[in-house]
């Protein structure tokens, strides 16, 4: 029992260490903080107040929503109280029996607050109503109505904008937990999987990657986050992906690839982070969104290949088995990319394939010259 607890604790420490060293977490959040920002630059967030309101956390939005309405009701309640006091309408002022108030039934601070709330929210219970005696009261009710409409529009816009943020659509797009390196179509490739959990498509989808690592230039300069482009593609190309089912995307490890000098026994000792981006437009909302994830060397499996996940039922429907989405099996793979390209025989690998236990066997009456699946 103590052995399993010790192993879990070590795994937890490794996970925490990997989280600290990532620039981009697995769910796409950027692990970076800004320091020593000039005080004057903070006013830029106020100048761009709309973006600031949309991007702040929900707890602050709800606090501002409550505070904006409550504060406006109270401030205008004080103004209505001041108008009633100036006209001698309050109870403690002992108005005469034939006295005409500015607002009927506003006789104290509480009733002034209630009248302010009823006016701004257009409730209109009928117990309190303005009279044409006081021009200042008429002007105040116009100002409160206009300001209340502005607050309503602004807060509703902020809430709707936060609900419809494109990054919420990105939550339904997932990447495989691991990346694999194995032979594919005569080339050594690094492969990842990505799936769209909704049936609505992502239009104009493009996927690309950045390899982040620390490098030293010939001039002796150390670049902490040197970025190298990593191209991902499918057999049909790398642009405008038909994202109706999970896709396996691959990067060819050739002489121009930064992975070319790595090998199976040196990969996990490297220090780099592979950040993968997926850009697209949601079909239902026409809003552009970006999905991000990252892979560190410990999350790249050399000599493995993903299990198949797509099958077809007897009724002709296609089925996706997500239980195998991130599962991989070992395959015969060259020790390094140099061996694969230069040493004869190292590029050979098994062509037997892998069985998916979740597949249903079906009979298809195809012509003799058509390959059966």
- Specify the CATH number for the domain of residue 83: 1.10.287.70
Task: Give the per-residue pLDDT at 365.
Answer: 44
Give yes or no: residues 160 and 286 share one domain.
Answer: no
Q: Name the burial class of residue 95, with classes exposed (0-12), middle (13-18) and buried (19+) by CB atoms within 10 angstroms of its CB.
A: middle
Confidence of residue 151 (pLDDT cuts 50, 70, 90): very high
Domain range for 135: 42-164
Do 179 and 153 fall within a single domain?
A: no
Number of Cα atoms under 13 Å in the Cβ half of residue 75: 11
Beta strands 300-302 and 179-184, pairing class: parallel
pLDDT tens digits along 209-261:
999 988 887 787 888 888 889 999 876 556 667 777 888 889 999 988 999 98
362 pLDDT exceeds 50?
A: no
> What is residue 372's predicted lDDT score, i.e. its pLDDT?
36
pTM score: 0.70
Residues 177, 149 share a domain: no
Q: Which residues of 270-286 are buried (b: 16+ CB within 10 A; e: fewer)?
A: eebbbbbbbebbbeeee
> Both 203 and 311 in a single domain?
yes
Q: Of 334 and 75, which is predicted with more confidence? A: 75
Across the range 353-367, mean pLDDT stands at: 46
| 24 located within any domain | no
Higher pLDDT, 215 or 367: 215
Q: Is residue 353 part of a domain?
A: no
Domain boundary among 164, 198, 213: 164
117/237 same-domain check: no
User: What is the model's pLDDT at position 238?
Assistant: 62
Number of domains in the chain: 2
Q: How does pLDDT run across 37-50, given as a tens digit for each residue?
A: 776 666 777 778 88
Backbone angles phi, psi at 252, to 5 degrees: -75, 125
CATH number for the domain that contains residue 317: 2.60.40.1400
Give the pLDDT score at 370. 37
């Amino acid at each position: 029992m103590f052995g399993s607890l010790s192993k879990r604790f070590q795994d937890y420490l490794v996970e925490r260490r990997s989280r600290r060293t990532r620039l981009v977490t697995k769910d796409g959040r950027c692990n970076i903080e800004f320091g020593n920002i000039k005080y004057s630059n903070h006013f830029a967030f106020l100048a761009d107040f709309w973006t600031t309101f949309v991007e702040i956390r929900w707890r602050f939005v709800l606090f501002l929503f409550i505070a904006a309405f409550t504060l406006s009701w109270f401030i205008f309640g004080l103004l209505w109280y001041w108008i009633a006091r100036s006209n001698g309408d309050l109870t403690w002022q002992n108005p005469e029996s034939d006295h005409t108030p500015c607002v009927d039934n506003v006789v104290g601070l509480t009733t002034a607050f209630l009248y302010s709330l009823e006016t701004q929210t257009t409730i209109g219970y009928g117990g309190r109503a303005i009279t044409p005696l006081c021009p200042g009261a008429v002007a105040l009710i116009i100002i409160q109505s206009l300001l209340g409409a502005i607050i309503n529009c602004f807060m509703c816009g902020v809430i709707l904008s936060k609900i419809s943020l494109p990054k919420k659509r990105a939550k339904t797009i997932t990447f495989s937990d691991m990346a694999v390196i194995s032979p594919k179509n005569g080339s050594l490739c690094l492969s990842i999987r990505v799936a769209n959990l909704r049936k609505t498509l992502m239009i104009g989808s493009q996927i690309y990657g950045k390899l982040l690592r620390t490098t030293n230039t010939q001039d002796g300069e150390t670049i902490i986050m040197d970025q190298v482009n990593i191209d991902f593609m499918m057999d049909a190309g790398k642009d405008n992906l038909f994202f109706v089912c999970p896709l396996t995307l691959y990067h060819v490890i050739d002489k121009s690839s930064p992975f070319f000098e790595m090998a199976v026994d040196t990969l996990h000792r490297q220090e780099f982070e592979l950040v993968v981006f997926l850009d697209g437009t949601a079909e239902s909302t026409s809003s552009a969104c970006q999905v991000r994830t990252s892979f560190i060397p410990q999350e790249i499996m050399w000599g493995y290949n993903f299990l198949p996940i797509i099958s077809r039922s007897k009724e002709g429907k296609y089925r996706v088995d997500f239980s195998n989405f991130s599962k991989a099996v070992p395959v015969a793979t060259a020790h390094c990319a140099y061996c694969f390209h230069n040493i004869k025989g190292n590029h050979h690998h098994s062509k037997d394939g892998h069985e998916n236990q979740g597949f249903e066997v079906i009979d298809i009456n195809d012509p003799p010259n058509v390959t059966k699946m």
